[in-house]
Structure 1
Amino acid sequence: MNAYVVTLFIFGAVVLLTTWLPLVLRRMPLSLPICCIVIGVVLSLSPFTPLPQRNPLQNIGLAEHLTELVVIVALMGAGLKIDRPLGWRRWMITWRLLVFAMPVSIAAIAALGWGLLGLGPASALLLGATLAPTDPVLAADIQVGPPQTGEEDDIRFALTSEAGLNDGLSFPFVMAAIAIAGNSDFTTNWIGHWLAVDVLWKLTSGTAMGWLVGRVLGYLTFKVPKSGRIAKTGDGLAALGFTCLSYGATELVGGYGFVAVFVTALTLRGTERDSSFHGELHDFGEQIERLLMMVLLVCFGSVLAEGSLLSHVDWRSIIVAVVTLAVIRPLAGWISLIGCRQARAEKLIIAVFGIRGLGSIYYLAFATGKAKFDRIETLWATVFMIILISVFIHGVAVTPVMRWIDCARDVDSMRSKKQTLQRAEREM
């Protein structure tokens, strides 16, 4: 049987399913990522499978670049769909999650990895840095809606903005783990270089390049004479160009591209906040993101079914996964929100729904390609287990929980009123 033709047939079927399934799953306690993983498992067990029967440890580079691409596309989409202008007070809930919840989560997960899994300092820190960020890809079901749709309550805004920023802000901790892993003489000489380069320079240059690229693209898109504006094309394909341009330019100067892409999206959105072209950019980016996510999660399911990676999972890995998802993230998130004006139920949802996903795989692949870590199979197996549990538990819970909180706050009627006012303002 022609493997190429079989691959095309299966790919087409899976793409159609991932296009159609969101409509079917809209009112069901299931998510698209769950379905993709199940499809991957089924295909892997099929005698006609075109999927590779090997785990990411056999091809670190491919795992790194595929997850890198889907994350930067998701970051651009997240930035474009946030209606709330950037500001200290307006984004206070986000700053709290970033300044307190993320570092505390990293420290707690690292301690758990060191004490229970027996990981060395470098591997333990890498485990914490890998699992602390909220994933911008798999958290789409609980993020804000497309631009100017009014689907931006505090819960959705907090999780969207947190996912947009903490994927880049966890990078210094990943770099610290790499430095520790490469420090064979156990000295502290690496700390000065890490603070100056990996923290100060890369974060600053990432933010600055993101703003600069966003300003330039905003001018070319909305401010030049109408005949030459990118917005005049109405072509959402520009979103992919914006994403790659911002990421590539920032990485070339040694900055954090993840930070830059999200800042570029926010800056671009702020240039002409009410333009309908943002919707075109977002819609195309979302389609690309969903396609990439589908491919990677199908492969994720295939890796799980193959079994060699999960063979390293034991009772300690299960405990680490449960404690990370059920105790560390919810507790850190809840404490960071003490004093905020949101209701208790809203704070609890924000604290609990810190989904782990493809960004974790990227960081793990990136770091393990740069340095040698101890107990690497245990590290990968634990991360995969946490992602699997997170996808299933959060995927099942998110629809009924958000439906319940929306009904309790009468969000649907308020959103409808806001959309009506926005349409009236545009028609004036």
Structure 2
Amino acid sequence: MPETFDASAVVILVLGALVLLSAWLPLVVRRLPLSLPIVAVGIGVVAPHGPWIDRASAFLLQERVLEQAVEFIILVALMGAGLRVERPFGWRRWQATWRLLGIAMPLTIATMAALCWAALGLPWAAALLVAAALAPTDPVLACDVQAGPPGEEEGGEVRFALTSEAGLNDGLAFPFVVLAMTLAATPLESAWVHWLAGDVIWRIGCGALIGYAAGRVFGWLTFRLPRLKLSRTGDGLVAVGVTLISFGVTELAAGYGFVAVFIAAVTLRATDRSSDFHGAMAEFSEQIERVLMVVVLLVFGAAVGTGALARLEWRDVLVGAALLLVIRPLCGWVSLIGTKLPRAARGLMAFFGIRGLGTFYYMAYALGRAEFPDAGRLWAITSFAVLGSIVMHGIASTPLMAWADRRRRAAARPTRSGHSERRRA
């Protein structure tokens, strides 16, 4: 028996348990109205807390540490989401996606910011930060409603739209987070031109262009390079390399790396859609994402269990519930008016605005770089909304998406006249 307590051995033991949990739990919850994030948060809430757990949680919950950890998880998730996208870019083919990004997300931000200002009494900068951080559909926690892995059935318009929306809106919400940081320091009148030209037009355009170029270059290296093409390695680790290089180059050019990574992944997939190597890269990305997500959500659950939501007021709870139950569904529905999508498909796209790790990233990013009054309350408001989304959408995703898949397959069956219906849920 060792005479002293070996903390490193405990850390290794816990990490091993987390890896096994991330592999095993999806089998347990596959047919239940639960999700892996719900289980991970629940374990974190009820798990006994000791000094070493508290120290580990305190370390991970530091704003810069949390920012870097969640940033990496999101990047890996964006690569996996991009590799799942089968259809080429196009205005008509991606119509639902463009509407969710260009109409639903700005409407959600504007409505949520106004509500936070009017009902919660937050300053405009803080209200905009909360709204922008809660606006994106999360690519990490939305895995249960996303398109199928490469080589499998896409899953219909609902899964495609939610996958592509989650892949792009993290980066497209960034300008609004930056605007909130700007408002916290200077009046908008003296900064809006720089914000519009630099943080919106340049950084989004730069991310899109570099992402496309990176996808083309890595597509050639992976599938076209004679003799030494990367696909011959069969190693899914290639996906991580593509992710980090695309992100790093874009950030050095002052662009939005989240946008670049997703577009690079979609462009890479388009180079050779039939290759089995896409599946290997997507699977490896998903495994890394799942393990790291479980770690972060366990810590989040531990924080919830030790008073992270203590600052909440009843009005904060109502506003968070309004976002999940009214604002996002209504804005999503409005954005899809005029499309030929069935009502059921529009309803599911509007409802599944899943909030998650992207919110943590934006809050840590902004609060670590700008001064916002009462940051603890802002964390409590956003954490409650994320927790509510994890529970509500996690319970609903399995039965609702199974219903949508059955409806879509039934609509695709040939009719008596020999033709198949074109309606897709």
Work out whether the TM-score is over 0.5: yes
Aligned equivalents of 2:257, 2:25: Cα separation in 1: 32
Equivalent residues in 2 for 1:205-244, closer than 5 Å: 205-225=206-226, 227-244=227-244
Kindly indicate whether residue 68 of structure 2 is the aligned counterpart of residue 74 of structure 1. no
1:74–1:285: 8 Å Cα contact kept in structure 2? Answer: yes
Instruction: State the shift of 1:345 in Å.
Output: 1.3
Q: Report the TM-score, using the length of structure 2 for normalisation.
A: 0.93
1:158–1:350: 8 Å Cα contact kept in structure 2? Answer: yes
Counterpart in the other structure of 1:7: 11
Superimposed CA distance per residue, residues 166-205 of structure 1 (whole angstroms, 9 cap, x where no aligned partner): 111011111111111111xx36110111111101111111
Q: Report the TM-score, using the length of structure 1 for normalisation.
A: 0.92
Counterpart in the other structure of 1:423: none
Equivalent residues in 2 for 1:234-383, closer than 5 Å: 234-307=234-307, 309-383=308-382
Instruction: State the shift of 1:286 in Å.
Output: 0.5
- C-alpha distance 119-11 of structure 1, shift in aligned 2 (>3 A): same
1:6–1:50: 8 Å Cα contact kept in structure 2? Answer: no
Equivalent residues in 2 for 1:114-125, closer than 5 Å: 114-125=117-128
Instruction: State the shift of 1:410 in Å.
Output: 2.6
Aligned equivalents of 1:411, 1:25: Cα separation in 2: 26
Aligned equivalents of 1:251, 1:145: Cα separation in 2: 30
Instruction: State the shift of 1:409 in Å.
Output: 2.9
Instruction: State the shift of 1:34 in Å.
Output: 0.6
Instruction: State the shift of 1:25 in Å.
Output: 1.1
Equivalent residues in 2 for 1:397-412, closer than 5 Å: 397-410=396-409
Q: Which residue identity is paired with 2:232? A: K
Counterpart in the other structure of 2:194: 193
2:85–2:160: 8 Å Cα contact kept in structure 1? Answer: yes
For residue 181 of structure 1, give the secondary structure of its aligned residue in structure 2: helix
- C-alpha distance 412-50 of structure 1, shift in aligned 2 (>3 A): farther
Instruction: State how many pairs are aligned.
Output: 409
1:53–1:306: 8 Å Cα contact kept in structure 2? Answer: no
Instruction: State the shift of 1:52 in Å.
Output: 3.0
- C-alpha distance 39-57 of structure 1, shift in aligned 2 (>3 A): closer
Kindly indicate whether residue 44 of structure 2 is the aligned counterpart of residue 40 of structure 1. yes
Task: Say what the alpha-carbon RMSD is for the aligned residues.
Answer: 1.7
Counterpart in the other structure of 2:421: none
1:67–1:362: 8 Å Cα contact kept in structure 2? Answer: yes
Counterpart in the other structure of 1:426: none
Counterpart in the other structure of 2:129: 126
Aligned equivalents of 1:239, 1:412: Cα separation in 2: 36
Aligned equivalents of 1:55, 1:136: Cα separation in 2: 25
Q: Percent identity?
A: 51
1:53–1:302: 8 Å Cα contact kept in structure 2? Answer: no
- C-alpha distance 165-187 of structure 1, shift in aligned 2 (>3 A): closer
- C-alpha distance 187-217 of structure 1, shift in aligned 2 (>3 A): closer
Aligned equivalents of 2:57, 2:223: Cα separation in 1: 47
- Residue number among 150, 154, 157 corresponding to 2:153 in the alignment: 150
2:182–2:188: 8 Å Cα contact kept in structure 1? Answer: no
For residue 311 of structure 1, give the secondary structure of its aligned residue in structure 2: coil
1:119–1:375: 8 Å Cα contact kept in structure 2? Answer: no
Aligned equivalents of 1:352, 1:413: Cα separation in 2: 24
Aligned equivalents of 1:74, 1:412: Cα separation in 2: 31
2:83–2:278: 8 Å Cα contact kept in structure 1? Answer: yes
Superimposed CA distance per residue, residues 25-72 of structure 1 (whole angstroms, 9 cap, x where no aligned partner): 1110000001111121233x3447634376689611001101111011
- Runs of 5+ in structure 2 lacking a partner? 414-425
